[in-house]
A and B are shown apart, each in its own frame.
Chain A
Amino acid sequence: GENVEQHPSTLSVQEGDSAVIKCTYSDSASNYFPWYKQELGKGPQLIIDIRSNVGEKKDQRIAVTLNKTAKHFSLHITETQPEDSAVYFCAAVTLGDYKLSFGAGTTVTVRA
């Protein structure tokens, strides 16, 4: 099955700086890569996703990049704000499936 590795496990950044989280996947048949933000006491919330036919996608301060050859994808958060503090999960979905294979998560802390 699919195996997703996520780094770093914790990330502390100064407010206004950028944060980058990286994930690698094992199954070359994976074609959908969502990112989730989980705040304390809440369920994971989909914040951005990318499909295998796209190299980069942006949504305001959030961007995701995908390198299919290397089988890795990254989340970039620019101009970080205190409300960006949360646990972020990457995931991968194999072609023809719906199941999410999650990374272990990154706890992001934005220091004021």
Chain B
Amino acid sequence: EAQVTQNPRYLITVTGKKLTVTCSQNMNHEYMSWYRQDPGLGLRQIYYSMNVEVTDKGDVPEGYKVSRKEKRNFPLILESPSPNQTSLYFCASTSDSLATYFGPGTRLTVL
């Protein structure tokens, strides 16, 4: 089954404690991205990757890092999380025809 998986689904942490949200896709897509969803602000792109070892900032990259060492994996890293990063995060994978598939989401709370 074609899918995007991400873990963990729920995470409560404290300010400054580094965390990583993993993302994996099995569709052999080159383009992957991360979005955050906030009430009233909709879905906004954090980072994207055009291919292995190629990443770039989206609209709201501050406080985040990503890496793309393998085609299927695209982890999101928060090196020093702050309360304003409390949000619902989605990993996404996009085909050459532009169809984008989202993971199930990670609800992050930073205390």
Binding site for B on A (CB under 8 A): 1, 32, 34, 36, 41-46, 49, 89, 93, 98-100, 102-105
Contacts and interface: CB of A to CB of B under 8 A. Distances in A.
Given A100-B45, A102-B42, A104-B42, A43 B98 contact: no
A105 B37 CA distance: 11
Chain B CB within 10 Å, residue with most, of A49, A100, A103: A100
B90 A103 contact: no
Which 5 pairs from chain A and chain B are nearest by CB? A43-B102, A102-B43, A98-B31, A32-B98, A44-B102
A49 B99 contact: yes
Nearest to B9: A41
Contact of A45 (B58, B59, B94, B102): B102
B48 interface: yes
A45 B102 CA distance: 7
Contacts of A102: 42-44
A98 B100 CA distance: 9
A99 B33 contact: yes
A1 B90 CA distance: 21
21 contacts: A1-B59, A34-B99, A43-B90, A43-B102, A43-B103, A44-B102, A46-B99, A46-B100, A49-B98, A89-B43, A98-B48, A98-B94, A98-B98, A98-B100, A99-B45, A100-B92, A100-B100, A102-B42, A102-B44, A103-B42, A105-B42
Chain A CB within 10 Å, residue with most, of B43, B48, B59: B43
